[in-house]
Amino acid sequence: MTAKSPFTYRFEAGAQAEAPPLLLLHGTGGDENDLLQLGQMMSSGSALLSPRGRVLENGMPRFFRRFSEGRFDEEDVRYRAVELGDFVSYARDRYGIGAPIAVGFSNGANIAAALLLTRPETLAGAVLLRAMVPLSDPPAVDLDGKPVLILSGRQDPIVPADNARRLSTILSKAGAKVDHQILPTGHQLSQTDIALARTWLADVALASGRQKHAVSAC
């Protein structure tokens, strides 16, 4: 923890300028170390910014409060999204990185979706692993083609299939470029998740590089 940030976090500098920085957001009970290896596997060379959720549920870190499984404290969701967005702005200034792509699992995916819907300027895109709709009445935002990958599990006992589809629809209607894939698995991550996210992130980095090249050539 630093004097200027309320979050305990890890930062690893990137080794490749073209690799997008990643904001790693763990699930319930995780911490700032949980997804570092996953981030490296998904996008080697990316800068990694990994905060620990500041809400405790029975001693387990989370990114926002909930009333029960699948029932979120939406006032807290909004507050924590602002708090996390401020942290990302702080980290970008401190480490000189661009807007990151969020890679969130479960509770971390939900707060990443909340960031897209409340602070869209915070993220360049998102990989949402086993995500749910975080806000029943999200504000009107323009996601302006931001790339979003949603990976859901067909046998997921925590995330109802219709809820994941609704999240995809909400983000698409807000202007995001959404790729929603449903995998033959449950709530836990699989090697397929890693492979799909790695390919998707590489494609996003390539598209971003082409866009920058086109702009510089004008």
Supply the residues annotated as catalytic: 106, 156, 187
DSSP 3-state assignment of 164?
Answer: helix
Q: How far is CA 45 from the centre of its chain?
A: 18
What is the β-pairing status of strands 177-183 and 147-153? Answer: parallel
Let me know if 98 is exposed, middle or buried by CB neighbors in 10 A (0-12, 13-18, 19+): exposed
Please compute, for residue 187, the number of CA atoms within 13 A of its CA located in the half-sphere on the CB side: 13
What are the residues whose beta carbons fall under 8 Å from the beta carbon of 134, sequence distance 6 or more?
72, 74, 77, 110, 111, 113, 114, 117
Beta bridge partners of 49: 11, 23
144: which residues sit within 8 A by CB, 6+ positions away?
120, 175
Rounded Cα distance, 34 and 39, in Å: 10
Are 106 and 29 contacting, i.e. CB atoms less than 8 angstroms apart?
A: no
